[in-house]
Amino acid sequence: MKQFIIVVFCLFSGLVSAQSAINIIPAPVSVREGAGFFSLKKGGLIGYEQPEAGWAAGYLADELNRSTGYGLKTTQSKTPAVLISTGASDKTLGQEGYRLEVTTKGIKIDANTPAGAFYGVQTLLQLFPAEIRSTSVVEGVNWNVPVVSIADQPRFGWRGIMLDVSRHFFSVADVKKYIDEMARYKYNTFHWHLTDDNGWRVEIKSLPKLTEVGAWRVERHGRFGERAEPRPGEPATYGGFYSHEDIREVIRYASERNITIVPEIDVPGHCMAALAAYPELSCTKQQVSVNPGTDFSDWYGNGTFKMNVENTLNPSDEKVYEFLDKVFTEVAALFPNQYIHVGGDECYKGYWKEDPGCQALMEKQGIRHVEDLQGYFMSRVGQIIQSKGKKMIGWDEILEGGITPGAAVMSWRGVKGGIQAAKMGHEVVMTPTTYAYIDYNQGDQTIDPPIYSGLRVSKSYSFEPVPDGVEAKYILGGQANLWTEQVPSLRYAEYMTYPRAWALAEVYWSPKEAKNWNSFASRMEKHFRRSDAAGVNYSSAVYDPAVKAKRENGQLLLVLESEISGVDIHYTLDETMPDNRSPKYSIPVPVPDGPVNVRVQAYRNGTPSGHLITLKRSQLEARAQ
């Protein structure tokens, strides 16, 4: 009975004790802690039973050697310190699952596939001290792994992150580093947003101007969306693109880490870079520039908008489909993934409405509303994708005007598009803005540079990808999306991605019943130390309280809510900088009249954590409304 209780208690690693050395993200399905530890020794061997398990063994040896300096070698012999096998023949582990046994004498990883073996290795690495992530040799660390027995497999088959490389360009080295970090959290899908108004990033050999012209824009600094227009004759010097060789290199690197790449060619909207190269593909045929981040659209707050510069392909022009056939021929040949993402989002129809060719097409097709012309366009795109032997996936706007048979839907404007698509029998990837848009601010809106909205890590963690009333089999999984209007570098991409992508990794991998915010938060803090060792950036906004205000009997009250437990919040109302002797928040605080500023600083274990938040009384007043 005692044994039974221990097993149940530890069944989800999310529930292992706070003192445990086991802090795995995403939480494995089952974890049984034992007593003692395995101690890694210099010159040991990493073994693999089958040649196909050799890559995971080599990866593990490289990872361990970098920080331990132990010179571990791989071997196909039977008596190594760590043995990796892909011969588990265990149906319960599926295509990506693994078993990991750590005893005081050695470590064994069993899986059915190289992917499972790779994930066993990732879990094992997370059992080592944080310094294992160091990029150079660290002396004086006991490289111990706790005795444990883990069995694990994912909840969803699609666990993705989207990186927008159009708004800002990321080099091959950056993309590889981003992918490497994703793989450590068992993401298996890299959605590569390759084209948009601000740069076309994939070489299409049959359409050379796409990258000769479309990959480059004038250099601008400052807030994206408020930048100045290109001047006549100004050279376009900012940008870049991926050659076919580059793409093949990234695909190989990703596939070694069990990551498949979904390329996105975003049509018919978001096409200004393509139209800068080939203006004849628009309705007005006016020459446009690759957009450097100017304000060219009006948003009316109810999902409607206007593009003041044309960024849409002309659906009534057969040349557009010839163009798309060329693009998708090369994209389909480059990328092995069965899915090609065709965008479909935020397509402004104003230029279509004015265009005689579009009107004639609508009449011919019996299409009454211009909005529904997108359905015609998407079905033509779907035929092209199908003719290349691929499956089409698009943003949830592809439901409008009639969804193409067999198309998969990426639900971003909430989950309602996903629900609608699943009920029609279409595959769905869930990535609603409200939980999965990691371009949004993570803490107080006054701290990070302003962007469309906010999304705290606890909100991401609370996401449930299978809505009530939807058959789970239609939900392929979910994604985090990083749009990069305000993300100019890999370092900042990491800052925006983590820790929210850790939270979503757990949403998409771990059993629904295992979800436990307090457990995740405690493990997240351990992973901050791992990221510190690795030099990977993350946001510490989780320490920042939500700063709220209310009015009671005419009195303005300051209300501070911490996202995680164990944080002390200190504040001042006297124009001084808060420290850990300043008043500690426990109950709502009356804010005196006058030109008062409130300053708030969180402390974790006596150390200032997160950001100093400063708000004027008027800002608090607004929050009390």
Q: Which is nearer to ligand ACM, 148 or 165 (CB)?
A: 165
Identify whether the C-beta of residue 137 lies closer than 8 Å to the C-beta of residue 68: yes
Buried b (16+ CB within 10 A) or exposed e, 139-174: eebebbbbbbbbbbbbbbebbbbbbbbbbbbbebeb
Q: Give yes or no: 346 in active site.
A: yes
Long-range contacts of 244-249 (CB under 8 A, 24+ apart): 244/203, 244/205, 244/330, 244/334, 246/172, 247/202, 247/203, 247/334, 247/335, 248/334, 249/172
Backbone CA torsion sign across 249, 61, 146, 128: negative
Rounded to 5 degrees, what angle do the CA atoms 338, 341, 344 make? 150
Q: Which is nearer to ligand ACM, 187 or 412 (CB)?
A: 412
Instruction: Tell the residue number behind the tokens 């005081």, with chain if given.
Output: 104
Q: Which is nearer to ligand ACM, 143 or 395 (CB)?
A: 395
Q: Which of 49, 63, 196, 317 is catalytic?
A: 196
Q: Which is nearer to ligand ACM, 412 or 585 (CB)?
A: 412
Q: How far is the CB of 481 from ligand ACM (least distance, A)?
A: 7
Q: How far is the CB of 264 from ligand ACM (least distance, A)?
A: 10
Q: Which is nearer to ligand ACM, 53 or 403 (CB)?
A: 403
Q: How far apart are CA 326 and CA 324, in angstroms?
A: 5
Q: Which of 346, 444, 485, 544 is catalytic?
A: 346
Q: How far is the CB of 513 from ligand ACM (least distance, A)?
A: 31
DSSP secondary structure letters along 415-468: SHHHHHHHHTT--EEE--HHHHBTTSBSS-TTTSPP-S-B--HHHHHT--SS-T
Order of all β-strands in the sheet with 73-75: 30-39, 144-152, 98-102, 107-111, 82-85, 45-48, 73-75
Residues 6 or more apart whose CB falls under 8 angstroms from that of 187 comprise 159, 160, 161, 259, 501, 505, 508
Q: How far is the CB of 395 from ligand ACM (least distance, A)?
A: 5
Q: Which is nearer to ligand ACM, 330 or 397 (CB)?
A: 397
Q: How far is the CB of 308 from ligand ACM (least distance, A)?
A: 18
Q: Which is nearer to ligand ACM, 207 or 482 (CB)?
A: 482
Q: How far is the CB of 188 from ligand ACM (least distance, A)?
A: 21
Residues 6 or more apart whose CB falls under 8 angstroms from that of 50 comprise 85, 86, 87
Interhelix angle 54-68/114-127, nearest 10 degrees: 20
- 30, containing H or E segment: strand 30-39
Q: How many helices (H) and strands (E) does the chain have?
A: 18, 27
Which tokens hold the place of 592? 């005196």
Residue 575 sits at φ, ψ, to 5 deg, of 60, 35
Q: Which is nearer to ligand ACM, 43 or 303 (CB)?
A: 303
Residue 323 sits at φ, ψ, to 5 deg, of -60, -50
Q: Which residues bind ligand ACM (CB under 6 A)?
A: 345-346, 395, 412
Identify whether the C-beta of residue 465 lies closer than 8 Å to the C-beta of residue 429: no
Residue nearest to ligand ACM (CB): 345
Q: How far is the CB of 483 from ligand ACM (least distance, A)?
A: 6
CA 297 to chain centre: 26
Q: Which of 270, 341, 426, 570 is catalytic?
A: 270
Residues 6 or more apart whose CB falls under 8 angstroms from that of 488 comprise 168
Q: Which of 215, 277, 212 is nearest to 240 (CA)?
A: 215
Burial of 318 (0-12, 13-18, 19+ CB in 10 A): exposed
Q: How far is the CB of 408 from ligand ACM (least distance, A)?
A: 14
Q: Which is nearer to ligand ACM, 238 or 395 (CB)?
A: 395
Q: How far is the CB of 479 from ligand ACM (least distance, A)?
A: 11
Q: How far is the CB of 410 from ligand ACM (least distance, A)?
A: 8
Q: Within a 10 A sphere around the Cβ of 371, how many other Cβ atoms? A: 15
Q: Give yes or no: 341 in active site.
A: no
Which tokens hold the place of 32? 């049984």
Identify whether the C-beta of residue 345 lies closer than 8 Å to the C-beta of residue 395: yes
Q: Give yes or no: 270 in active site.
A: yes
Amino acid at 375: G
Q: Which is nearer to ligand ACM, 346 or 448 (CB)?
A: 346
Catalytic residue list: 196, 270, 346
